Amino acid sequence: MPSKLWKFFKKGFEVAICNRCRASIPTKRGNTAGLRSHLKFKHTKDDYLILIELEKCDTPVSDISVIGEPPLKQQKQSTIADGFNRQISNILTWDDSSEESIRIDKLIIRWIVQDYLSFKFVEGDGFREFMQAAYPKYRIKGRNFYATSMLDDLYSENKSHISNEIKKGRHISLTTDSWSDFIAKVSLVSLTAQYIDDDFNLKSFVLAARAVEESQTGAFLSDILLKELSDWSIPFDKIHLLLRDGASNIVLAATLSQLPDFWCSIHRLQNALKDSILKDSAISELIARKKHSL
| Residues 6+ positions from 89 with CB-CB distance below 8 Å | none
Q: Which structural domain, as residue segments, surrounds residue 79?
A: 4-92
Pairwise CA distance, residues 1 & 12, whole Å: 19
87 and 12, same structural domain?
yes
Q: Are 273 and 222 in the same domain?
A: no
Both 105 and 191 in a single domain?
no
Region 267-291 average pLDDT: 78
103 and 147 in a single domain? The answer is: yes
Best CA proximity match to 68, nearest among 41, 33, 44: 44
Q: What is the pTM of this model?
A: 0.57
Q: What is the pLDDT of residues 74-121, one digit of tens each?
A: 444 445 445 555 555 555 678 888 999 999 999 999 999 999 999 999
Looking at the structure, do residues 259 and 278 belong to the same domain, yes or no? no
Residue 37 near residue 64 (C-beta atoms within 8 A)? no
Strands 261-263 and 239-244: parallel
Do 124 and 175 share a domain, yes or no? no
- What DSSP element (H or E) covers 177? strand 172-181
164-207: per-residue pLDDT in tens?
999 999 999 999 998 887 777 788 899 999 999 999 999 999 99
Across 21-30, 206-215, 217-226, least confident range: 21-30
One domain for residues 173 and 256:
yes
The domain tally of the chain equals: 4
CA distances to 113, 179, 187 from 184, rounded to whole Å, are 18, 12, 9
Is there a single domain that holds both residue 156 and residue 86? no
pLDDT of residue 71: 44
Q: What pLDDT does residue 78 have? A: 46
The dihedral of CA 139, 144, 149, 154: what is its sign? positive
pLDDT at position 7 over 70 = yes
Per-residue pLDDT reduced to its tens digit, 133-150: 899 889 899 889 999 889
* Mean pLDDT across 21-27: 82
Q: Are residues 174 and 159 in the same domain?
A: no
**Which CATH number covers residue 211?**
3.30.420.40
Do residues 187 and 251 both lie within one domain? yes
- Backbone CA torsion sign across 86, 92, 93, 99: positive
